[in-house]
């Protein structure tokens, strides 16, 4: 079976006919790339019209002809062969005794040409749909042992994910050796990720996946691919977490160097913050430039806080910008948005308005990253309607022979099954004694992101047990260590005891486990207390000769980690980043919240912190709340990291949604006043200043009904 990956092509008719002809031959196996790869040469980038990678036939390069004029097709074949051979000879894994282990075949495919025989020349195959398959079948078979290395090179990923830092490793069983092996094992992109990088949909495209499924890498390489393919295009890449900027720069630079043999043109391919501010290119942002270019009022964060409700500052600012702009300048050919789940839909609309036709907007998001909040609305809702009432953007179902508009990355290459399932169990409150914290409105999302039903039914009111499949959570991600080493929850009596455990663990990681300082991150879930919460630990580490940084405070806001230093961070800076060893301190802050509606938010912080780990997690906390959090973990562990729960009914889901709804600033002030009145009432009753009999009987009965309803719900 042939898998077709649709890249950007200037030969659409012959490309479609090539794909259809190859797909019709069921015995033929491999991956057909259209408009990919692009080979860097001293003269610039050289795009290949189409390429078939086959374990039996090796590489087949296709020179495509749209019409009937074949011209000097022999020269085209020679140039493609020479460029590809030069590329492959740079990779030792493809060479044996100075010779390539890979056969490179070249074919010219001219589907509109009926009289093939009048143009053929020995050694230069010329085909149409009638003889293409027989020509391929006649080619020599390939050594299958080299196939994996060949795929890695063709995907131009071999230098990106493989561990590049020098490690002085002496113990083959140390954590340092294990993390190096893990990094080497994920050096190849899988088929889903490869398709997401190359497939170019002429319109709005979305990429969905779990934390660790490679969304950021895929988005960066996709932008770099289009930049190399179309160097004249104006392209923007934007994101929510500022510390992702350096990561995007590194990924894009490496890929463009491999594809075009040149540095990216940062005037044409821009990496921009979402919000932005005055102060030059480093502070530039999509929203700020929109306001500046269209003469509309710009709100910085402080002013937006005053004018708009809490957690809706950016949404409100974007609304005013969109409403105020008279005639929007469409200056971009493509825009890529990472972490789209952290933006209000109107930011995607703002990006859409900045695009030229055919509106190439690609947005990537994690539907589980914002647990308890609604997923992004459907495309049809985000981008509005035409004058006739029909949606401006429609999500088309997947069709053979066409690029995918909706790509789902369901395999997680960062977190092992125990780590990922623990994060979901605690984030949703699956094993919480008083019931679920939050749930998805659409049950099928569980299956989309790689869970499968082990028992029961994923239906309203039914009991269900979900588990990760071996495909979605590869077993080798957890084989390297025991369960107790992969993830642990530890309870302490005091902050001092927690800090001592943290220091001891980090020092052992550096001295015994052969980890590097930048393999370690320490996350404090509460962003408001992080600076003070980590100060003592950082001071003690410094006394012991271990350097550290506080992300975004002691280093650049656009960077996260630095070589040779342990990174301490709040949860918002941690998003989008990863490390081999993750320590989470003060996890007790994620067990409960003063206001029930804030519980989902603090549970989200724990979920996000746990999923930063590429290998090992240590969850540390203090007191009885941490003990209860640990009990939830132990229940997940007891069930072999399956999610076992009763799926709530529609009415119950609505109640959960109401509990977690956003509130305006006025609503929050009203609630605060009512809470204080309730506290005053309780104090008055408890002190004996007043008695329950002093209050109207109907009010007392209503309170009894409400509290009894709450108690019954929590015991179900």
Of 335 and 102, more confident = 335
On average, the pLDDT of the chain sits at 87
471-503 confidence digits (pLDDT tens):
899 999 999 999 999 999 999 999 999 999 999
Check pLDDT > 80 for residue 447: yes
State residue 604's pLDDT score.
Answer: 87
Q: What is the 3-state secondary structure (H, E, C) of 306-359?
A: HHCCCCCHHHHHHHHHHHHCCCCCCCEEEEEECCHHHCCHHHHHHHHHCEEEEE
Mean pLDDT of all residues in 108-133: 89
E strands in 21-103: 30-34, 38-41, 44-47, 50-54, 58-64, 95-96, 99-100
The structure tokens listed for 168 are: 């002085």
Check pLDDT > 50 for residue 662: no
Q: How far apart are CA 211 and CA 409, in angstroms?
A: 10
421-430 confidence digits (pLDDT tens):
999 999 999 9
The structure tokens listed for 88 are: 């492959």
State residue 163's pLDDT score.
Answer: 47
Cis-peptide, bond into residue 129, ω within 30° of zero: no
CB of 613 closer than 8 Å to CB of 605? no
89-120 confidence digits (pLDDT tens):
988 888 988 889 888 999 999 999 888 877 88
CB of 425 closer than 8 Å to CB of 634? no
The structure tokens listed for 144 are: 């299958």
Check pLDDT > 50 for residue 628: yes
State residue 714's pLDDT score.
Answer: 43
Check pLDDT > 70 for residue 671: no
Tell me the CA distances in angstroms from 544 to 507, 537, 539, 704, one per residue in order.
9, 11, 9, 58
CB of 360 closer than 8 Å to CB of 203? yes
According to DSSP, the β-strands at 30-34 and 50-54 are antiparallel
Q: How far apart are CA 553 and CA 251, in angstroms?
A: 24
Tell me the CA distances in angstroms from 714 to 128, 432, 433, 437, 633, one per residue in order.
69, 10, 8, 11, 19
Question: Which DSSP state fits 684?
Answer: H
Q: How far apart are CA 376 and CA 367, in angstroms?
A: 8
Question: What order do you get walking across the sheet with 643-646 strand by strand?
Answer: 451-456, 463-468, 643-646
DSSP 124-162: B-EE-TTTHHHHHHTSPP--GGGHHHHHHHHTT-TTTSS
- For the chain, what percent of residues have pLDDT higher than 90? 53
- For the chain, what percent of residues have pLDDT higher than 70? 90
CB of 362 closer than 8 Å to CB of 196? no
631-656 confidence digits (pLDDT tens):
999 999 999 999 999 999 988 887 77
Question: Which DSSP state fits 26?
Answer: T
561-613 confidence digits (pLDDT tens):
888 999 999 988 888 789 999 999 999 999 998 777 788 888 989 999 999 99
State residue 708's pLDDT score.
Answer: 67
281-314 confidence digits (pLDDT tens):
888 999 999 999 999 999 999 999 999 998 889 9
Q: What is the CA radius of gyration of the chain?
A: 28
CB of 262 closer than 8 Å to CB of 256? yes
Instruction: Give residue 441's region: left, alpha or beta (phi > 0; psi -120 to 50).
Output: alpha
Check pLDDT > 60 for residue 373: no
């Amino acid at each position: 079976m042939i898998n077709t990956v649709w890249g950007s092509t200037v030969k659409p008719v012959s490309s479609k006919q090539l794909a259809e002809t190859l797909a019709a031959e069921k015995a033929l196996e491999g991956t057909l790339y259209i408009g990919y790869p692009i080979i860097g040469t001293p003269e610039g980038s050289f795009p290949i019209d189409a390429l078939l990678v086959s374990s039996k036939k090796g590489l087949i390069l296709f020179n495509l002809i749209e019409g009937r004029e074949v011209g000097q097709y022999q020269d085209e074949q020679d140039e493609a062969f020479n460029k590809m051979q030069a590329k492959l000879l740079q990779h030792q894994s493809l060479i044996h005794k100075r010779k390539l282990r890979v056969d490179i075949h070249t074919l010219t495919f001219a589907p509109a040409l009926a009289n093939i025989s009048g143009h053929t020349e020995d050694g230069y195959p010329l085909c149409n749909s009638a003889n293409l398959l027989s020509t391929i079948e006649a080619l020599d078979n390939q050594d299958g042992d080299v196939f994996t290395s060949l795929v890695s090179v063709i995907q131009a990923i071999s230098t990106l994910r493989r561990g590049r830092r020098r490690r002085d490793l002496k113990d083959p069983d140390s954590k340092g050796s294990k993390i190096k092996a893990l990094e080497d094992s994920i050096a190849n992109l899988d088929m889903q990720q490869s398709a997401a990088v190359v497939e170019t949909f002429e319109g709005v495209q979305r990429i969905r996946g779990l934390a660790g499924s490679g969304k950021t890498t895929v988005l960066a390489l996709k932008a770099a691919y289009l930049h190399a393919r179309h160097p004249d295009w104006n392209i923007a890449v934007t994101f929510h977490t500022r510390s992702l900027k350096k990561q995007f720069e590194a990924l894009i630079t490496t890929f463009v160097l491999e594809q075009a043999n040149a540095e990216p043109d940062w005037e044409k391919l821009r990496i921009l913050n979402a919000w932005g501010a005055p102060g030059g290119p480093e502070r530039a942002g999509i929203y700020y430039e929109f306001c500046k270019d269209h003469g509309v009022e710009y709100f910085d964060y402080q002013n937006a806080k005053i004018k708009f409700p809490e957690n809706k500052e950016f949404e409100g600012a974007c609304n005013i910008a969109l409403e105020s702009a008279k005639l929007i300048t469409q200056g971009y050919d493509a825009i890529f948005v990472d972490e789209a789940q952290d933006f209000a839909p109107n930011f995607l609309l703002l990006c859409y308005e900045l695009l030229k036709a055919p509106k190439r907007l690609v947005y990537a998001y994690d539907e589980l990253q914002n647990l308890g909040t609604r997923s992004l609305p459907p495309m049809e809702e985000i981008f509005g309607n035409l004058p006739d009432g029909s949606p401006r953007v429609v999500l088309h179902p997947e069709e053979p022979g066409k690029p995918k508009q909706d790509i789902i990355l369901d395999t997680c290459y960062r977190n092992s099954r125990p780590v990922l399932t623990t994060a979901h169990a605690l984030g949703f409150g699956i094993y919480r004694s008083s019931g679920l914290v939050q749930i998805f409105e659409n049950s099928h999302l569980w299956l989309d992101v790689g869970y499968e039903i082990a028992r029961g039914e994923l239906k309203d009111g039914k009991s269900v047990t979900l588990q990760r499949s071996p495909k979605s959570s590869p077993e080798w991600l957890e084989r390297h260590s025991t369960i107790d080493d992969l993830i642990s929850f530890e309870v302490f009596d005091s902050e001092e005891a927690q800090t001592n455990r943290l220091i001891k663990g980090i020092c052992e990681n550096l001295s015994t486990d052969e980890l590097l300082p930048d393999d370690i991150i320490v996350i404090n879930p509460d962003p408001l207390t992080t600076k003070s919460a980590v100060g003592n630990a950082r001071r003690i580490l410094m006394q012991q000769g271990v350097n550290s940084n506080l992300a975004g405070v002691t280093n650049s806001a656009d960077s996260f980690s630095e070589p040779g230093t342990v990174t301490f961070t709040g949860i918002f800076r941690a998003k989008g980043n990863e490390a081999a060893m993750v320590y989470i301190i003060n996890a007790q802050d994620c067990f409960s919240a003063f206001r029930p509606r804030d519980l989902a938010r603090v549970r989200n912080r724990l979920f996000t912190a746990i999923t930063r780990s590429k290998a090992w997690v240590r969850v540390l906390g203090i007191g009885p709340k941490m003990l209860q959090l640990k009990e939830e973990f132990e229940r997940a562990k007891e069930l072999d990291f399956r999610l076992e729960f009763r799926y709530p009914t529609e009415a119950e889901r609505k109640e959960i949604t109401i509990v977690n709804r956003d509130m305006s600033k006025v609503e929050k002030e009203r609630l605060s006043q009512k809470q204080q009145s309730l506290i005053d009432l309780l104090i008055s009753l408890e002190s004996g200043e007043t008695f329950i009999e002093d209050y109207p009987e109907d009010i007392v009965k209503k309170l009894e009904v409400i509290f009894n309803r709450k108690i019954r719900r929590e015991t179900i």
